[in-house]
Amino acid sequence: MRHFRIVINLTYVILTAAITAWIALVAYDYYLTPLESRFFHDLHEDFKPSGALGHGLGIIGSLLMIIGVGSYMLRKRLKRMRRIGLLKYWLEFHIFMCTLGPILVLFHTAFKFGGLVAISFWSMVAVFLSGILGRYIYLQIPHTIEGRMMSRTDIQDLLKESEQTLQHLITDDELRESITAELQALSVPNQDTKKDVKPVKLNTVARHLKDAGVPAKNRSEIVAILKRNLAFGRRIKRLEMMQNLFRYWHVAHLPFALLMLIIMIIHIIVALLFGYTWMF
């Protein structure tokens, strides 16, 4: 499953990069032409905002954003959809659609902004940039395999389960107690420097386990558990701060997204009233 997720994310990156590069290469000279001279350019009829390709880029880009936002919101809020795929996969699809969509809309504008549409465009830019920040904050919060954000209690329960697993893997009581004590010491801030103690070197722990005669299979499992525990130990200290930041981020991200969508819909209605119906 992990390899499948990597392949999907890599596909998203390649598609976004390839489509962006193709449009940029094909219309590179047109976009660099001064606005007052573009009317005489050979590509003007195709890549102007109302042109066959330029208009199409705007329509496709808008649809991608609507699908990306709508599908993710429905997956989060509708009970009947909660069994359809993991939430983290829907989030990654949302990010892909809401990255490629704005890029296509940017090319649709031909880098010319003005009027009411400019508000929608800069709202889109704000949504895009805040999305990058939100993704960073989201990654700082531990999540379950389904993609649900974990609470402090969830993490503490996992740490207790890890301790029970270590008891079965490390039969030597003295060795187990020394490793447990070392991990507990690492989770307590240094009172002198007010900074966290440097993480334990897991290679050293693995060497101690080997010297104690712990089988290789158990050693690798123990080191993996310790590594996860250290990561959770560091994250639990800033868990509440990140969760609060994530709530504040929603307050800023959602209004910009709604403003963008509302003005986009107005723009589409006006375009249809003036007869801009693309190829149809």
pLDDT tens for residues 226-280? Answer: 777 777 766 676 677 777 777 777 777 778 788 888 888 888 888 777 776 665 4
- Convert 169-206 to b/e letters by CB count within 10 Å (16 or more is b): bbeeeebbeebbeebeebbeeeeeeeeeeeebeeeebb
- How many angstroms separate the first and last alpha carbons of the chain? 42
Looking at residue 229, what is its pLDDT? Answer: 72
Looking at residue 16, what is its pLDDT? Answer: 93
User: For the ranges 52-61, 129-138, 199-208, which has the lowest average pLDDT?
Assistant: 199-208
Structure confidence by residue, pLDDT tens digits, 31-60 = 989 988 888 899 998 998 888 898 899 889
- Section 121-135 average pLDDT: 80
Percent of the chain with pLDDT over 90: 11
Instruction: List the chain domain ranges.
Output: 2-149+240-273, 152-238
Looking at residue 247, what is its pLDDT? Answer: 74
pLDDT score of 202 more than 50? yes
Looking at residue 17, what is its pLDDT? Answer: 95
Q: Looking at per-residue confidence, does 127 or 203 come out higher?
A: 127
pLDDT score of 152 more than 80? no
Q: Which two tokens stand for residue 194?
A: 């007010």
Task: Calculate the average pLDDT of the chain.
Answer: 77
Looking at residue 258, what is its pLDDT? Answer: 81
Q: Looking at per-residue confidence, does 19 or 69 come out higher?
A: 19
pLDDT score of 187 more than 50? no
Instruction: Please give the DSSP secondary-structure letter assigned to residue 159.
Output: H
Looking at residue 13, what is its pLDDT? Answer: 92
- Section 78-92 average pLDDT: 80
pLDDT score of 191 more than 70? no
Q: How would DSSP label each residue in 205-269?
A: HHHHHHHTT--HHHHHHHHHHHHHHHHHHHHHHSHHHHHHHHHHHHHHHHHHHHHHHHHHHHHHH
